[in-house]
Structure 1
Amino acid sequence: MKKRPDGMWRARYRDATGRERARHFARKADAERWLAAQATSIARGDWVDPAKARVTVEEWSKVWLATKAHLRPRTQEKYESALRVWVVPRWGRVALADITHADLVRWIAEIHTGRSPAHTRHTLIVMSQMLKLAVRDGRLARNVADGVAKPRLTRPVPRFLTNEQVARLAGEMPEPYDLMVVLLAFTGLRFGEAAGLQVGDVDLARGRVTVNWSVTELARGGLHRDAPKTHRRRAVPIPAFLVARLRAYVKGKPDDAPLFTASKGGPLRNSNFRHYFFDPAVQRAGLAPLTPHNLRDTAASLAVASGANVKAVQRMLGHASASMTLDVYSGLFDAELDDVAVRMNAAATEALGEWGKSDGRVTEADTG
């Protein structure tokens, strides 16, 4: 460290690569503090090149987005939307090094007003992932998005139809969408999975529908055909009455033909299906509000009511795990738990004899 003729203090050090770095300060104490901070960062191994940290968020967002090219188009669209609508307008010209934790906390609080928790969480995740990549690339010492509280998600309340209500809804649908509604309600397929079915996916001899593909409608208007959501193809059992209906419906059709199409042919789109057929039928049947996804809820409900356990429901719905099924439909299994308690009580009473008998009354002594 040296004092220049102009009175400024020149502080110098060599960075982790051996390159000399220097800054000028009006006060010697400031220069000493800066040198000490650089030495500590180098010793800890978290020193970053100040020039690399000066890249703007907009510039870095393009680098980060390029690393997501392997994801599904619909997922990429959501990332692009979050960047275009929320991240770049606020942070585009800001250098990575200038973003603080407090800034992000305030920003998330601001954009959460009037937005759903899911959208706000997604925007924060995008920002956090961008900063995480910057840390790994040696542009930042730490991710200042760590610890920013995410809004709590509110899971949509499932809607369950009875067998009679399914029949009423199907009765308001034109052919062949009446068949599709019943298929969704008794197999738990997602709409995109049903739209991706081909005739050859229906095994009438075994009474199975094999989910090989799912069709996703993109925001920019296109359709994307890909593996199911969990990337796991699955075979779903179908009731005998549906087998008979499907046999008549697919007769004479080639295996590679779509099982369901738009009314004038071509791919089936969720938006058009809802607007022209599903939503009007729901209104006529007096079942509003109802979405095609609620038919998936219905399938879970009907399966549990018929005696299916959580593992069977998981396999039918194509959930990644049984815990996920329980997270979404835990209430459906309450009766099953009651049955377990009844069976355990019967077995224990028989084994314990007189000691296990009780008049069923709870006293203060029982509760302590």
Structure 2
Amino acid sequence: MARVWVYDRIQSKKYRDAVAKAKAAKRKPPNRYLVMYYDKTGKQRSESVPTRARADLRVAELSSALLTGTYTDPVVAKVKFAEVAEKWLESRTRIKPSTWWKYRGLLDNHVLPEWGNVALNAIEREDVALWVARLLKPTEEDGSNLSPSTARLAFRVLSMVLEWCVPRRLAVNPARGVELPVVPEADHVYLTYEQVEALAAAAGELRTKYKRPTAAAAVNRALILFLAYTGVRWGEAAALRVRNVDLDNRRVRIVATLYEIKGGQVEGLPKSGKPRTVPLPASLVDELRPLIAGRGPEDRVFTTSRGKPLRKANWRRREFLPALRKAGLDVDGFTPHKLRHTAASLAIAAGADVKVVQSMLGHADASITLNVYGHLFPDRLDEVASTLDARRRAVLEARQNGPEAA
């Protein structure tokens, strides 16, 4: 028996009676043809179509899909996007909690409001492209006024859910090939040694309106110096424990980071997913020693005056920004994370190569380091060309003067 065939329902008395009844009631009669087929599981299915031409076309489509393995069940393809999005998110068990909640937020705020009630097989590529464009438009133009980077993230979540549906529910991902907004290159700000020292000093001298030290004043100086001279991420510094600091060998082992999720803190692996060791400048040993002295190995190095873990948003607002103003460093958009950029720029200026900077910052690949900091590495093209030229001239001169001269 053929796997896909056409059945003419006119052969059935039941169908002829249904047609006559519909005509008497001046209603549209039921479709005459059934496209019959066995799906991938061997289950017999059927689809009704009005004309023989449409039936033959559907036979060709189904035959090709079943032969090439691209067949999708039309029933499961009609499910609403919101239903499969929840299943997709539930299946993300190997990602960090912070990433899971980021996906949750993007779905709830940007993806589901647009696509939640839409059937999977009704999502078209051009509609996705228009949605991306609306994400970028100002709110007064009925847009979402998102930045290009956030719009790309929202699109990525939509695309990942749709890709997850291929091939069982969708033959292809309709989001593939959609043109995305260009993210402008970040304008990094790098502090000088003098500015780092001024910021650290100001942070350590912060006082409340009652002239008492702020909650983190006792650790601010060492924390800012640590961030600016090691390139450690803020969450990694906040998670650092005494047992991972080796002052004698000037090494710090980064094994964890703190994520802030729904008002709480969760400790997890560093962003790269792997621990790493970073060098500690000798001048920082004396800065860190008082914070470690008399502490247990599981105690955190950087805490509030009450021994509580630092919270990034609170520390930035109550400690970091006031210290910037106090130090006279009114740099627009300067955040604690940009101390990491500062560390990279100072290391490169000190002669560190790409692999050293990659290792220090914990980048998964050297290409990431080059993409972000490539412009900081000195242009040595002329130096290389001059060296090549000098060595070639030496060989040519030796050949001209003969073996004795060489």
TM-score normalised by the chain length of structure 2 = 0.81
Answer yes or no: is the 8 Å Cα contact 2:62–2:71 preserved in 1: yes
Task: Look up the SS of the partner of 1:128 in the other structure.
Answer: helix
Distance 1:27 1:162, change over 3 A: same
Answer yes or no: is the 8 Å Cα contact 1:303–1:313 preserved in 2: yes
Out of 32, 39, 60, the position equivalent to 2:56 is 32
Distance 1:258 1:341, change over 3 A: farther
- Greater Cα offset, 200-209 or 31-40: 31-40
Out of 193, 215, 220, the position equivalent to 2:236 is 193
Matched, 1:213 2:256: yes
Task: Look up the SS of the partner of 2:203 in the other structure.
Answer: coil
Unaligned 5+ segments in structure 2 are 1-6, 20-28, 138-144, 205-217, 400-406
Report Cα offsets for 1:98-135 as digits up to 9, x if no partner. 11111111111111222111111111111111111111
Deviation at 1:285, TM superposition (A): 1.6
Answer yes or no: is the 8 Å Cα contact 1:211–1:235 preserved in 2: yes
Give the aligned partner of residue 83 of structure 1: 107
Counterpart residue identity of residue 127, structure 1: L
Task: Look up the SS of the partner of 2:299 in the other structure.
Answer: coil
Task: Look up the SS of the partner of 2:104 in the other structure.
Answer: helix
Matched, 1:144 2:177: no
Give the aligned partner of residue 185 of structure 2: 155
Answer yes or no: is the 8 Å Cα contact 1:11–1:32 preserved in 2: no
Deviation at 1:205, TM superposition (A): 1.1
Give the aligned partner of residue 10 of structure 1: 33
Counterpart residue identity of residue 9, structure 1: R
Deviation at 1:68, TM superposition (A): 0.8
CA distance in 2: counterparts of 1:278 and 1:214, whole angstroms: 19
CA distance in 1: counterparts of 2:102 and 2:132, whole angstroms: 18
CA distance in 2: counterparts of 1:92 and 1:351, whole angstroms: 72
Report Cα offsets for 1:155-182 as digits up to 9, x if no partner. 3222111111111111111232111101
Deviation at 1:50, TM superposition (A): 1.2
Distance 1:24 1:350, change over 3 A: closer
Task: Look up the SS of the partner of 1:172 in the other structure.
Answer: helix
Matched, 1:133 2:164: yes
CA distance in 1: counterparts of 2:188 and 2:60, whole angstroms: 58
Deviation at 1:187, TM superposition (A): 0.5
Report Cα offsets for 1:229-261 as digits up to 9, x if no partner. 112211111111111222233222222111001
CA distance in 2: counterparts of 1:339 and 1:246, whole angstroms: 40
The percentage of aligned residue pairs carrying the same residue is 38
Answer yes or no: is the 8 Å Cα contact 1:10–1:22 preserved in 2: no
Bigger radius of gyration, 1 or 2? 2
Report Cα offsets for 1:72-98 as digits up to 9, x if no partner. 111011111111112211111211111
Answer yes or no: is the 8 Å Cα contact 1:117–1:151 preserved in 2: yes
Counterpart residue identity of residue 186, structure 1: Y
Answer yes or no: is the 8 Å Cα contact 2:188–2:338 preserved in 1: yes
Give the aligned partner of residue 203 of structure 2: 173
Distance 1:156 1:352, change over 3 A: same
TM-score normalised by the chain length of structure 1 = 0.89
Out of 58, 64, 68, the position equivalent to 2:88 is 64
Distance 1:86 1:197, change over 3 A: same
Answer yes or no: is the 8 Å Cα contact 2:241–2:298 preserved in 1: yes
CA distance in 1: counterparts of 2:322 and 2:368, whole angstroms: 32
Counterpart residue identity of residue 153, structure 1: V
Answer yes or no: is the 8 Å Cα contact 1:15–1:42 preserved in 2: no
Distance 1:321 1:22, change over 3 A: closer
Deviation at 1:345, TM superposition (A): 5.2
CA distance in 1: counterparts of 2:148 and 2:280, whole angstroms: 37
Answer yes or no: is the 8 Å Cα contact 1:12–1:20 preserved in 2: no
Give the aligned partner of residue 291 of structure 1: 335
Give the aligned partner of residue 184 of structure 1: 227
Give the aligned partner of residue 363 of structure 1: none
Out of 322, 339, 357, the position equivalent to 1:280 is 322
Deviation at 1:325, TM superposition (A): 0.9
CA distance in 2: counterparts of 1:120 and 1:11, whole angstroms: 44
- Greater Cα offset, 120-129 or 152-161: 152-161
CA distance in 1: counterparts of 2:230 and 2:385, whole angstroms: 29
Aligned positions of 1:110-129 closer than 5 A: 110-113=134-137, 114-129=145-160
Unaligned 5+ segments in structure 1 are 356-368
CA distance in 2: counterparts of 1:14 and 1:352, whole angstroms: 79
Distance 1:338 1:193, change over 3 A: farther
Answer yes or no: is the 8 Å Cα contact 1:262–1:269 preserved in 2: no
Distance 1:35 1:150, change over 3 A: same
- Greater Cα offset, 316-325 or 6-15: 6-15
CA distance in 2: counterparts of 1:205 and 1:345, whole angstroms: 46
CA distance in 1: counterparts of 2:161 and 2:101, whole angstroms: 16
Distance 1:207 1:255, change over 3 A: same
Task: Look up the SS of the partner of 1:292 in the other structure.
Answer: coil
CA RMSD of aligned residues (A): 2.1
Deviation at 1:151, TM superposition (A): 1.8
Aligned positions of 1:84-99 closer than 5 A: 84-99=108-123
Report Cα offsets for 1:198-240 as digits up to 9, x if no partner. 112111111111111111122x111111111112211111111
